[in-house]
Amino acid sequence: MDTSDEKKLEQLGSFEISDQMLRLAQNNQRQNIFLNAGRGNPNWINKKARLAFNRLVEFGLSESERTISEGDLIGYTKQQDMLTRFKEFLSPETKEIDAFFLQMLDYSQQLGIDTEMFIKELTDGVLGNNYPVPSRVLKNSEIILNHYLESILYNGASLADQTDIFPTEGGTAAIVYIFNSLRENKLIRPGDRIAINTPIFTPYLQIPELADYELVEVNLQSTEDNHWELLPSELKKLADTNLKAFFIVNPSNPGAKALTPSALNEIKKVLIKHPDLMIITDDVYGTFVEDFQTIYAVAPHNTLLVYSFSKLFGATGWRVGLIAAHKENVFDRLIRQLPNDEQRQLNQRYHFVVMEPEKLPFIERLVADSRSIGLYHTAGLSTPQQIMEVLFALTHLLAGKKDAYIDASRSIIQQRYEDLHNVLGISTDDTKGNSKYYSLINIYELAETRYGKAFRQYLASHFEYIDFLVRLAEKNGVVLIDGVGFGTEAGQLRVSEANLPTPDYERIGRQILEILEEYHDIFKKADTSGK
Ligand SMILES: *Cc1c(COP(=O)(O)O)cnc(C)c1O
């Protein structure tokens, strides 16, 4: 690839560059096995929740056959005595997963859930035999999901019974719905300033810039020097009342670090000066940090929480995520404070679907807007997806104090992180907030450490910054993701510790060093010929 091609490539987003790299890597010159450490998609999945889903489908089919049974055409389930039949259906002596359901019944009873209704909800849910009703979230499912969020993300704050949840098609849909409803409800307008923690997952940089939104982004920067930690001094900027909203990925992607307790404290202080600040936090990586605490736990009235099951449970294909909001929140308050004519417009907007549109909470507006309002009554995440979320959540809630599955997910990425760093001879960052889901490798820094400052300068001034990434793919078949699209300085490459078998991380380290050595050979020749 020549320099002009590389310059064109540098205009693309990180993931689009990565797609190009995949093509190069698959036909790499050295015929190495092709290694894609670009994607955040994990290479593990959760077994228990999937077994449980399967079992519920089996039970649901037997229930359906009780009402109509004409070959493959079977009927609708009936509530009466379903719980009794479910208990009879279970055989925990021979089927390990059935013990999970017995435990689930106990647990849901403790939460005050009507287990008769819950079994019907789960059974019909996996069968997908009805529209999602209520459209935002199934009733008992919301209770379970709330307890899950409280357990994994709040670190002691108890908010489960004060929080509304809207399950969505992954975190992706959650992000899109939020931007859209904020705009439709005039909470963000073209030209508004919003703060973003950078470097960040590209959609958060790209969406605000799009013509529909035209938002002005203010970066709260974390840097390599601070090990990608977002410092309280940066967070102080949020006290500026010209900032409408703060979008954050926490723990971050690609920096992988969680906000520290003192950073969370700074946010609380900022809100005293700026009580109208809207915060949207994407906590998909929260479970990879011990004792993680979300911003929502310390600032529930100002914060929308986005969560996804994709990463922890290896469920990217399921498209399962959610939005959570406190019942008392700044979004509802700001809508009530809009000028009268704008409120009238909004009431007009939502009056097709509710009697008192002025009372429609923001989270319900998200549901309605997600289906262009007119289809509000058939909005909502598909019921099998909602139940899958519930079952994922239950694997954790029933695990007791120590969730072996979460521990295993942490140690697998920990191992890969260490292997990569050890081969490269880079020191590891073992601070508590480091999720280690991703690493940023600074190629220029690595060049200097191994071969000295002159070589670093040569590398930076004689080649496009993307050149290293291209060579790594073209020659050695290794795909990483360029950090510039996420908002890092040139030379940072993101390695995902999630998506390759563990032994591959040492290989990736060695391939990086090999390419670096080849540049160094070019440098040496250039150096001597110049003398
Ligand atoms: C991977 C990821 C998600 C998950 O998105 P899904 O649509 O649920 O798969 C959300 N946010 C960030 C920042 C991510 O990196």
In ligand 1, which atom is closest to the CA atom of 204?
A: 13
Tokens at 96, concatenated? 């390990």
Q: What is the pLDDT of residues 146-184, one digit of tens each?
A: 999 999 999 999 999 999 999 999 999 999 999 999 999
Domain of residue 100: give its range.
Answer: 47-127
Whichever domain contains 199, its CATH number is 3.40.640.10
- Quote the ligand 1 centre to 501 CA distance (angstroms): 21
Residue 409 sits in the same domain as residue 522: yes
**Residue 107: CB atoms within 10 Å:** 16
Pocket probe for ligand 1: among 201, 486, 499, the residue whose CB has the most ligand atoms within 8 Å is 201
Residue 182 sits in the same domain as residue 231: yes
Domain boundary (78, 106, 127) is at 127
SS3 76: coil
pLDDT of residue 531 exceeding 70, the answer is no
Q: Which of 469, 495, 511 is nearest to 17 (CA)?
A: 469
In a domain? residue 412: yes
Residues in the chain: 531
Q: Which of 281, 171, 178, 170 is nearest to 220 (CA)?
A: 281
In a domain? residue 392: no
Tokens at 483, concatenated? 């950090």
Residue 188 sits in the same domain as residue 93: no
Please work out whether the CB of residue 249 comes within 6 Å of at least one atom of ligand 1.
yes
pLDDT of residue 396 exceeding 70, the answer is yes
Residue 82 sits in the same domain as residue 210: no
Residue 60 sits in the same domain as residue 149: no
- Output the CA–CA distances (angstroms, integers) from residue 205 to 174, 211, 267, 479, in the order listed: 16, 13, 22, 22
Residue 417 sits in the same domain as residue 358: no
What's the pLDDT at 530?
53
In a domain? residue 389: no
pTM over 0.85, yes/no: yes
Whichever domain contains 36, its CATH number is 3.90.1150.10
Determine the Cα–Cα distance for residues 36 and 499; give it in Å rounded to an integer.
Answer: 8
Does the N-terminal peptide bond of residue 384 adopt cis geometry, omega within 30 degrees of 0?
no
Residue 350 sits in the same domain as residue 442: no
In a domain? residue 237: yes
Please work out whether the CB of residue 316 comes within 6 Å of at least one atom of ligand 1.
yes
Q: Residue 395 — very low, low, confident or very high, per pLDDT cuts 50/70/90?
A: very high
In ligand 1, which atom is closest to the CA atom of 320?
A: 8
* CA angle (14 as vertex; 10, 18 as ends), nearest 5: 95
SS3 content of the chain, % helix, strand, coil (to 5): 50, 10, 35
Domain boundary (127, 156, 185) is at 127
Q: Residue 320 — very low, low, confident or very high, per pLDDT cuts 50/70/90?
A: very high
**Residue 449: CB atoms within 10 Å:** 13
Residue 160 sits in the same domain as residue 191: yes
Tokens 């723990």 found at: 251
In ligand 1, which atom is closest to the CA atom of 282?
A: 11
* CA angle (484 as vertex; 481, 488 as ends), nearest 5: 110
Cβ neighbours of residue 367 closer than 8 Å, sequence gap 6 or more = 135, 136, 166, 376, 379, 380
Please work out whether the CB of residue 125 comes within 6 Å of at least one atom of ligand 1.
no
In ligand 1, which atom is closest to the CA atom of 200?
A: 13
Q: What is the mean pLDDT of residues 492-512?
A: 96
Residue 311 sits in the same domain as residue 186: yes
Please work out whether the CB of residue 321 comes within 6 Å of at least one atom of ligand 1.
yes
What's the pLDDT at 63?
98
Q: What is the pLDDT of residues 133-146, one digit of tens each?
A: 999 999 999 999 99
Q: Residue 529 — very low, low, confident or very high, per pLDDT cuts 50/70/90?
A: low
Using the CB atoms, write b or e for 55-88: b if 16+ within 10 Å. Answer: bbeebbeebbeeeeeeeeebeebeeeebbebbee
Please work out whether the CB of residue 42 comes within 6 Å of at least one atom of ligand 1.
no
- Output the CA–CA distances (angstroms, integers) from residue 170 to 92, 126, 167, 215, in the order listed: 33, 18, 8, 24
Centroid of chain to Cα 42: 12
Tokens at 506, concatenated? 């040492």
Q: Residue 377 — very low, low, confident or very high, per pLDDT cuts 50/70/90?
A: confident
Q: Residue of the nearest CA to atom 10 in ligand 1?
A: 171
Please work out whether the CB of residue 284 comes within 6 Å of at least one atom of ligand 1.
yes
Domain count for the chain = 3
- Quote the ligand 1 centre to 510 CA distance (angstroms): 29
pLDDT of residue 363 exceeding 90, the answer is yes
Domain boundary (350, 381, 412) is at 381
In a domain? residue 113: yes
Residue 225 sits in the same domain as residue 188: yes
Please work out whether the CB of residue 310 comes within 6 Å of at least one atom of ligand 1.
yes
Residue 453 sits in the same domain as residue 470: yes
**Residue 411: CB atoms within 10 Å:** 10
In a domain? residue 216: yes
In a domain? residue 398: no
In terms of pLDDT, which residue wins out, 368 or 353? 368
Q: What is the pLDDT of residues 237-262, one digit of tens each?
A: 999 999 999 999 999 999 999 999 99
Pocket probe for ligand 1: among 172, 438, 494, the residue whose CB has the most ligand atoms within 8 Å is 172
Residue 412 sits in the same domain as residue 326: no
Please work out whether the CB of residue 314 comes within 6 Å of at least one atom of ligand 1.
no
Contact 360, 368 (CB under 8 A): yes
Determine the Cα–Cα distance for residues 49 and 402; give it in Å rounded to an integer.
Answer: 17
Whichever domain contains 106, its CATH number is 1.10.20.110
Q: What is the mean pLDDT of residues 402-410?
A: 97
φ, ψ dihedrals at 419, nearest 5°: -55, -45
In a domain? residue 144: yes
